[in-house]
Structure formats: C-alpha cells, structure tokens
Amino acid sequence: MSGAGAPFGARLAAAVADRGPLCVGIDPHRELLGAWGLPDDVEGLRRFTDAVVGALAGTVAVLKPQSAFYERHGSGGLAVLETAVAAARAAGALVLLDAKRGDIGSTMAGYADVLAPGHPAQVDAVTVSPYLGPGSLEPAVRTAREHGGGLFVLARTSNPDAATFQHARLADGRTVAQAVVDTVGGWNAGGDLGSEGVWGPRTGSFGVVVGATLADLDVDLAGLRGPVLAPGLGAQGGTPADLRRLFGTGAAVVPTVSRDVLGAGPDPAALRAAAERWAAELAG
C-alpha cells in the first residue's frame, strides 16, 4: 500500500466509532436544486454542494456524492465534485463515490484511479458493478489494495426488478447475488470482525450493497468480513427497524439516507439537524 495510511476498512471502522454509521448521499438532481431555489447549472450545483459539505462533513462518517449528477454538468460539474471531495475529506468525512463503475481491463483500471493519490477527485471508496464477471473487478481490487481504498460491490439491491438477474442460479446452485457476496468475502479473507464486534481495525475494505427495503435478506453475509452499504432509508421507505430486521447485529452496516436529509436544506442548521435525527434513530 503506497502512502495511504490505514486501509479503508480500518478507517471506516474508526469513523463509525467516532461519528456513528450514517452515510448521507449527495444527490443534486434537477428537482432538488429547484426545491432549494437554485438554478440547474454549475453555479447552483456548487452552492448546493458547498452547503451540504459545509453542514455535514464535520459530523457524519461518510458522504456519498452521486457522480451522475456532477457529470451531467460537464467539466464544470466535475470541478465542483473535485473541490467538494477534497473539502469533505479535509473535514474528516470519508467520501464514497457512487459511480457504479463496471468494465474490463485497462478501462476498469482507469475508473479505479479515482482511489489513487494524485487524482483530482481522490475518494476513499467507490461503488462498482460486478456483472461483467468477478475478473472484471480485479483492476479495481488491485488499485484499492495498493492505495488503501475501498469498494462497495452491487450484490442484492432492492429496485423492483433486481431479482431478474440477482436471483438467477449458477451451476453450483448459488444465486448470482450470493456469488457476489462470496467473491467479495474472498477479497477480505483474513479479516476478523468477530474478535471486536462487527466493527474493528480488521474490518475488510471490500463491501457489498444490499438494499434496506428488501422484504427478506436472501443472501448469507456471514463470510463477508466487510461492510454492507444499505441504501433506501427515508424517502424510499426503509427504516431503522428494517435494518435490524434484515441485518440484526451481525453485520457492519453503513445505512444511507439522501432525500430525507437533503430536503431539509438549504439552511445548514436544518441539514445538520436532519442528519442528527437519523443518527439518533439509528443509535436507538
């Protein structure tokens, strides 16, 4: 690992111990900019993003900007993202880029460079898609290991037609979703969550995405040895009770809220209060 300090899993565990597990998504879509009274342009994007980062980066464990909402504004939008990532990390938040990248060879390696020092928008972790096969993610795994970064791999998402592919069966009888979890667990081999509870310095740096609004948890996470990103709280219908129902106390869960916090803006105090309410509910 080149100059990265502790691996992502250990840094995530430390952030959760210090700040709680809440991850707040930064999703500056057109409608939300309008609700804040901001124009749908680079200046509106900048004002929105600066407000969210300024209000939350000093208190929440993870901020999760959605790359698409910056890319849609072209080079100016990417410049806003670069500035925001640096500011959030400087304030102590970990930054997870929600980009859902998935490709092969040198192209995947290029996507993964966002985890490398010197990248203009270097982040702590990135979401990736495994549906070109486990080997397609190896360049990202190598980059993450080299620089102390993390990956969250789409495994069991809760969008309505996710099961079309994720419940498909392999020749060995496992579902595709389970094969993804098992693959990621293999990358984390050697980690030991059990010795210090579900979070600790040996928490793996490779996690999976499992939706918080699933009717039932139909994948076995026992061998993951890494974190679970659980989107869907708030406006999408997920609750802290759903997290307890699905994951119990045996998984290192990073719950994600977006609209229920962002909708409280643009007042910074209101944004902080909304995040604090969710943090309190998750701790309850």
Given pLDDT bands bounded at 50, 70 and 90, which one contains residue 235?
Answer: confident
CB of 198 within 8 A of CB of 230? Answer: no
Per-residue confidence (pLDDT) for residue 250, from 0 to 100: 83
Token reading at 163: 């099961």
* pTM of the complete model: 0.96
Q: What letter would DSSP give residue 142? A: H
Catalytic residue among 19, 100, 119, 259: 100
Per-residue confidence (pLDDT) for residue 192, from 0 to 100: 58
Is the model's pLDDT at 101 over the cut of 80? yes
CA 10 and chain centroid, separation: 15
Compute the Cα dihedral for 85, 96, 232, 170 and give only its sign: positive
Given pLDDT bands bounded at 50, 70 and 90, which one contains residue 198?
Answer: confident
Is the model's pLDDT at 1 over the cut of 60? no
Render pLDDT for 124-173 as a digit per residue (tens, 0 to 9): 999 999 999 999 999 999 999 999 999 999 999 999 999 999 999 999 99
Determine whether 64 is an active site residue.
no
Q: What letter would DSSP give residue 197? A: B
Average pLDDT, the chain: 94
Q: List the chain domain ranges.
A: 8-283
Q: How are the residues of the chain apportioned to helix, strand and coil, as percentages rounded to the nearest 5?
A: 45, 20, 40
Render pLDDT for 59-78 as a digit per residue (tens, 0 to 9): 999 999 999 999 999 999 99
Is the model's pLDDT at 2 over the cut of 80? no
Nearest to 258 by CA among 230, 227, 228: 230
Which CATH superfamily groups domain 8-283?
Aldolase class I (3.20.20.70)
